[in-house]
Amino acid sequence: MKLLITGAGSYIGTKVADYIQEREPEWKIDRLDVQTDKWKKCDFSFYDSVFHVAGLAHRKITPDIEPLYYMVNRDLAIEIAQTAKESGVSHFIFMSSMSVYSDDDTYVDVHTPTNPDNAYGKSKLQAEDGIQKLVSEGFFVSKWRSRDIAFYKTVPPFQRDHIIQPAFPKQAEIIIARKSLIPL
């Protein structure tokens, strides 16, 4: 199995890669920085799966920053998914967000309608929609909608920079179990 994780310095991508590598040492896992256009030189055809965790989050949404959310979280995600598909990658895993639902939703299930409140949630939902359009025979797409707390156990919001304990093994186990053959 060959897995490419976009977002070379991402906490989630790094921890998921470490977790999988400990359990599946024969897997080839690479990380790709997509902050510049240098990623376009990467040969995606080498990989079975791409796990796209790169994104813009946790910045105050102001009028001058808002367009960046769409450029990074929507446009870049769709472009990377398209590149993966054109390169013969069989599975694209998109790290989305529970922010595609209203912040007022305290309980979410499969019947909860999406209704993002801000540019972050809207850009993630638009990326989901754009990436989903790429699905075809031989190209599966999975998405994970999660809040930070699903990956970290954190202290109160005013101290969120202090990540205490990762809590994501279930998600990594899903990648291992699926081995990129079927959608989640």
Q: How far apart are CA 100 and CA 97, in angstroms?
A: 6
pLDDT at 98 (0 to 100): 77
The neighbour count for residue 37, using CB atoms within 10 Å, is 7
Tokens at 22, concatenated: 């400990």
pLDDT at 166 (0 to 100): 36
Spell out a b/e string for 94-105, using b for 16 or more CB atoms within 10 Å of the CB, else e. bbbbbbbbeeee
Spell out a b/e string for 141-173, using b for 16 or more CB atoms within 10 Å of the CB, else e. bbbbbbebeebbebeeeeeeeeeeebebeebbe
| CATH class assigned to 2-178 | alpha beta
Q: How far apart are CA 15 and CA 31, in angstroms?
A: 12
CB 109 within 8 A of CB 101: no
What count of residues does the chain have?
Answer: 184
pLDDT at 106 (0 to 100): 64
Dihedral, CA atoms, 35, 40, 43, 45, nearest 10 degrees?
100
Report the range of poorest mean pLDDT among 21-35, 119-133, 155-169: 155-169
pLDDT at 152 (0 to 100): 44
Which is more confidently placed, 36 or 111?
36
Over residues 136-152, mean pLDDT: 69
Cα distance between the two ends of the chain: 17
